[in-house]
Amino acid sequence: MTENHKREIKYSSDDGHPWEEQDPEESMKEHQSSTKILEKRALQKVETAGQFIYGQSLTWYKEIAIWPMLILLVIELGTRVMQTNYLYLWPPKIFTWFIVGARIVLFIYLAVSAVRQYQANKMQTVTVAIIGGGVVGFLLAIFQLFWYFELWTFFNLIGQPLLFAALGALISWVVYTAVFKKSINQ
């Protein structure tokens, strides 16, 4: 009964010696099959899974969006902290308009820099704004979760990234259509 639970372990040499090498023919077959897979990947020219997003990798999108979205995040967080700690006598509408203006300006800058510096097409420009807006919205939602700690902040974890992604997509689409479509057609 004690022998029924044991498995039979087969090593590559089948003599019970794991340090012995495989048969040369088997190792050659494995090498050939792995080189065929690598050749197929090289022919497809797929760098990463993110490259299926309009022909660019996720690192390309990150390079474009990192600085404008980091500046937007610092402005949003800094304005909210300054409003509640130091400038609490000022009307809240001033801060709301300032933040909305910063969002619009930085999404416009993101769209312009994506086209001019990285030669992005329309869908790549909109996609980089969606990715950047979604990340900034999610980080702001996490900040608000701990800052306010109310029930609505849990729902904001979904709503804020969607709002920022939609705002970024709309602004980048309008900028590309209004500014760069004319220069491309001429």
pLDDT of residue 88: 84
Q: How far apart are CA 18 and CA 13, in angstroms?
A: 7
pLDDT of residue 54: 72
pLDDT of residue 152: 87
Contact 54, 99 (CB under 8 A): no
Q: What is the model's pTM?
A: 0.69
Mean pLDDT by 10 residues, the chain (186 residues): 57 55 63 66 57 74 90 93 88 93 95 90 92 95 90 91 96 92 60
Q: How far apart are CA 38 and CA 122, in angstroms?
A: 33
Q: How far apart are CA 91 and CA 96, in angstroms?
A: 9
pLDDT of residue 45: 56
Domain residue spans of the chain = 1-45, 50-185
Q: How far apart are the first and last CA of the chain?
A: 86
Beta strand extents in the chain (DSSP E only):
none
pLDDT of residue 18: 56
pLDDT of residue 24: 66
pLDDT of residue 21: 58
